[in-house]
Chain A
Amino acid sequence: MALTVSNVRKSFGDKKAVDGLSFEIGEPGVFGLLGTNGAGKTTTIRMILGIMNCDEGEILWDGKPVNRENVKYGYMPEERGIYPKVRVHDQLIYFGQLRGMSCHDASKAATLWLERLGVSEYARMNAEKLSKGNQQKIQLITALIHDPELIFLDEPFSSLDPINTDMFKSIIGQLIADKRTIVMSSHQMSTVEQYCRDLVILDRGRSVLRGNLHSIKAGYGHTNLTVGCDAKLFERVIPIAQKHGIKFLEQRADSCEFKITSDEYAHAFLRELIDSGIFPDRYEIREPSLHEIFIEKVGAAV
């Protein structure tokens, strides 16, 4: 099962929302669709789902056009939408039935999901009475109730507290284990980094970076150095780093962030720190984070 997006374009009047976008999701897992606000993520998802026509290009799932008949997909849109004055259980059955389930199966699945997400007590309540986080859980159930093979999650963690975020993460983990293909759009880079195997970063409708996340990061090499120590020592640490050609990036509460061009410079810097009687609590040479890559790519384009 593979999703192939080939040279897709979409314009609204003079504005190019998506401009020649191509990517492929070959294996089950999480695919990250990243970009700033207005980069074309939602338009891309809508075109993949077939609820919006593309001006050019082709989108195929397992060699066939993506539509409701060919693909069993689930979608959790960024703008949460549930019927406010309809009882939670009733609307879950409704969406389940629209996705091909029988009333009985939809009711059973709704009950199971409500229990799994800890909201079964709200089953007979109108959705408008639920908190924002709980409404989001209902929205997730509408996307998953029919056990889809291709799942689109647009900002799944927004407005969730840490406990519910962990609950959502565990469900995503289970979906990955069940070999589902998930397209996730999010601004929370740490979460995307945690789950995404492949990704594409969009900027103003164009792809500025795409590929396997591990390979992308490996391609950057060790570019960052974090040194943790007592804040009083920072004014001694920073000049030593600069002496070794290491660029100071930022100072945090208990650490300093540096940009390095090679591991050797970092090792020489560490040696001099110790010789100077400065023993860091933390010394980490690492690849750039997805957040840093995103800023670099999109920031450069801006």
Chain B
Amino acid sequence: MKDIMVVFAFTFRDSIRKKAFIISTVMVLILIFAASSIPAIMNNLKDKTPTDDKKSNTCFVVDADGLVPSALPALEAQFPKIEFVAGDPQKSGDYKKSIESDKTKAMVEILNNEGVPSLRFTITDFLSGTPTGEMTELLNNMIVSDILSKEGVSEATTGIVLSGIASEVVPAGRGGADGKMDITGYALGIVLTVVMFFSIYFYGYGVAMSVASEKTSRVMETLIVSTKPSRILIGKCIGMGTLGLLQLAIFILAAAGSYKFIVPDGFTIAGVPLSLSSFTPFSAIMVLVYFLLGYFLFAMINSVCGATVSRAEDLQSAIMPSNIISIISFYAAYIVLFMPDTEIRRLVSFIPFTSAFIMPFRLLNESLPISDIIISISLLIVSIVIVAALSIRLYSASVLHYGQRLKLGDLFKLST
């Protein structure tokens, strides 16, 4: 145990000083702060003159037949930044000419086409700052309200007609039954699946790289006479895993800090507010457990890949089998994300190579039976023990091999 801790501490200290770690951490932190700043910048641009009473645009309101007598005050109340001017129908041509030369000007004409009211906007372009959609909605509501009132419809009924009918979509099944599934949880789950894949891949690659560089620098021979290969391997995997956790923790803290201090309150993406309500303490712990177990499984395989090469440049091809397994596992998990309440989704949740990718999503979006979680984690742990035992054997056999890269057959032959 002492040797494992020594290898762990050395691996951790050595890796944390490496340029790759420092640069990747700084770059991701910059990305997090930059991404968090976008909503604030957008808001800032939108409210360039938030406290300024000066009108930014002018809009001529031409209502020749007086269809909406109270249009002007209603528009002024709704759009305080725009100066609304009651226009003379005879001067429509002049207004058009002035709009052509000044993009802050616009004109809305309320027309009467044989008893059917309509609106016509004259603007320079869509970026002129005249909210034609909202103005149409407001004027439409006023015209409809006026018509219904004249027909003797009560104010309450008019209100119902104008407010439209509320609707909601409730997903069926376990997730929907207790109302846990929501769009932010869904999006967060997908993001988490992708993050899990990249983290497990990236830090697992770090283990392979570390083993390969020990072989390249020929330090391996000195190392394995100092302690057992199993202790080197386990210590190294724990070291890289801890480094991965530390880096993820830095990113999460930076993201949380940015969310709290940089992202404006009430910010939404496509109308959906950002929310971490899907995370419970239990699901957060389980996500951490799946990250660690998934990482260990792939790190053990990667360590053997690293031990088969004599030169660091051969690592990419040596690690290909592990990459293929992880990519297939990720896509299998990703595909079943969109297959709710199927047996295949459950099966993928139990398969050790895929469970680390699918389970975090399911934990965030479903009320999983505890038995499913226990089975999934147990199978993952059993697999890690089997893969670790095999990896240690293959690693021990291959670390002293130099020359041509070892193929799987040679590796098994060497280990017997």
Contacts and interface: CB of A to CB of B under 8 A. Distances in A.
B102 interface: no
Interface string B339-380: 000000000000000000000000000000000000000000
Nearest to A93: B10
A98 B6 contact: yes
B222 A139 contact: yes
Contact of A68 (B14, B220, B225): B225
Contact of B225 (A49, A97, A139): A49
Given A46-B400, A52-B400, A86 B222 contact: no
Contacts of A52: 400
B218 A86 contact: no
Contact of B14 (A80, A83, A95, A99): A83
Contacts of A82: 217, 219, 222
A99 B231 CA distance: 13
Interface in B188-224: 214, 217-224
A79 interface: yes
Nearest to B18: A85
A239 interface: no
Contact size class for A? 20 to 34
Residue of B10, B218, B225 with most chain A CB atoms under a 10 A cut-off: B225
A38 interface: no
A77 B226 CA distance: 12
B392 interface: no
A84 B400 CA distance: 19
A46 B396 CA distance: 13
B3 interface: yes
B120 interface: no
Contact size class for B? 20 to 34
Nearest to B5: A97
B217 A75 contact: no
A98 B7 contact: yes
Interface string A51-92: 110000000000000001000010101011111111000100
B317 interface: no
Residue of A46, A77, A86, A97 with most chain B CB atoms under a 10 A cut-off: A97
A142 interface: yes
B6 A81 contact: no
Nearest to B414: A12
A122 interface: no
B360 to A, nearest CB: 35
A94 interface: yes
A77 B218 contact: yes
Given A46-B400, A82-B222, A68 B228 contact: yes
B118 interface: no
Interface in B1-29: 3, 6-7, 10, 13-14, 18
A205 to B, nearest CB: 17
Nearest to A77: B221
B128 interface: no
Residue of A73, A81, A85, A143 with most chain B CB atoms under a 10 A cut-off: A81
A51 B400 contact: yes
Interface in A164-206: none
Contacts of B227: 68, 98
Nearest to A100: B2
Interface string A89-120: 01000110111000000000000000000000
Contact of A95 (B217, B221, B222, B228): B222
Contact of A81 (B10, B13, B220): B220
B225 A81 contact: no
B10 A94 contact: yes
Nearest to B227: A98
A73 B226 CA distance: 9
A73 B6 contact: no
A77 B223 CA distance: 11
Given A52-B400, A68-B228, A79 B218 contact: yes
Given A83-B217, A84-B217, A77 B222 contact: yes
B226 A99 contact: yes
A46 B217 CA distance: 18
Nearest to A154: B221
B222 A81 contact: yes
A80 B216 CA distance: 11
Contact of A98 (B3, B14, B18, B220): B3
B225 A75 contact: yes
A51 B411 CA distance: 16
Contacts of B400: 46, 51-52
B8 to A, nearest CB: 11
A94 B218 contact: no
Contacts of A94: 6, 10
Contacts of B14: 83, 85-86
B226 A81 contact: no
**7 smallest beta-carbon distances between A and B, as pairs:** A81-B218, A98-B226, A81-B219, A79-B218, A77-B221, A97-B6, A75-B225
Given A46-B400, A95-B222, 4 more contacts: A68-B228, A77-B222, A81-B222, A94-B10
15 contacts: A51-B221, A68-B226, A75-B221, A75-B222, A77-B218, A79-B218, A81-B221, A81-B222, A82-B222, A83-B14, A85-B14, A90-B13, A94-B6, A139-B222, A142-B222
Interface of B: 3, 6-7, 10, 13-14, 18, 214, 217-228, 400
